[in-house]
Amino acid sequence: MLKVTTSWDDGDILDNRLSDMLIRYGIKGTFYITKELRLNRLTDDDIKRLATTQEIGAHTLTHPDLRELSPEKQREEIAGSKKWLENLLDFEVKMFCYPKGFYDDSVVTAVKEAGFIGARTTGLGFINSPIYPFRMNTTIQVYPFPFRKLGAKRYYLRKLFEPYAQRAFNLKHLGVPTRSMYSWLSATKATFDSAIKTGEVFHLWGHSWEIEKYGMWNDLEKFLQYACERKSCVYLTNGELL
């Protein structure tokens, strides 16, 4: 039985649209929310409403590189974000996500000491069950592929093939054929198919504001429609996966 989970970072107002889409297809999400980062951030009422249908995770207060902070500042950002959300929601917040995926041993220790049960990274290309709860990797990101883009219709010509160069190896390792790497949607469907055959977990992640920036809402919805209601799958939050 393949365990399907999704997670979404930063706490942008567009998380509301994303949540509605997940609900429509019966797929669960964990939303990692930062208190101060996005200009168009979720309001407190938005977060409370989101928490009625999705899992809420902490993502620090200000989205710093935690490795560069003193132990005191690490605790302030990590434990402080947990306390902020729990005071707002009036229930325990169990999951944490490292800003930009950056962490080291001291950061992991601070997350454990704050009382979280696990933490997500930005590692890609994994379809096995998490071995280390505080180093939870992912399978694939909602991000332009195989070409780098500046917006929905503009390409970054100087780094045009960067996404392919960075991610094709992991995809091939998962059994995704090169012929399926002509678009994000095709590559993601092929990755999902491979995970059903040989994997234990399929973990999709991203940012709602990037989905908007790169014009990927239609592709994401097509994938969710493709992946939903599978008898061979169970749909979980990140916390439930642990």
Q: Which residue from 234, 216, 200 is spatially nearest to 141, judged by alpha carbons? A: 216
CA atoms of 206 and 7, how far apart (whole Å): 7
CA atoms of 14 and 91, how far apart (whole Å): 24
Going residue by residue through the chain, which has 242 residues, state the pLDDT in tens, using 9 for 90 and above.
999 999 999 999 999 999 999 999 999 999 999 999 888 999 999 999 999 999 999 999 999 999 999 999 999 999 999 999 999 999 999 999 999 999 999 999 999 999 999 999 999 999 999 999 999 999 999 999 999 999 999 999 999 999 999 999 999 999 999 999 999 999 999 999 999 999 999 999 999 999 999 999 999 999 999 999 999 999 999 999 99
pLDDT of 215 reads: 98
Asked if CATH classification 3.20.20.370 holds for the domain at 2-143+200-241, the reply, yes or no, is yes
Q: Which residue from 11, 55, 66 is spatially nearest to 33, judged by alpha carbons? A: 11
Helix 184-198 / helix 162-173 crossing angle, nearest 10 deg: 20
pLDDT of 189 reads: 98
Is pTM, for the whole model, over 0.85? yes
Residue spans of the domains in the chain: they are 2-143+200-241
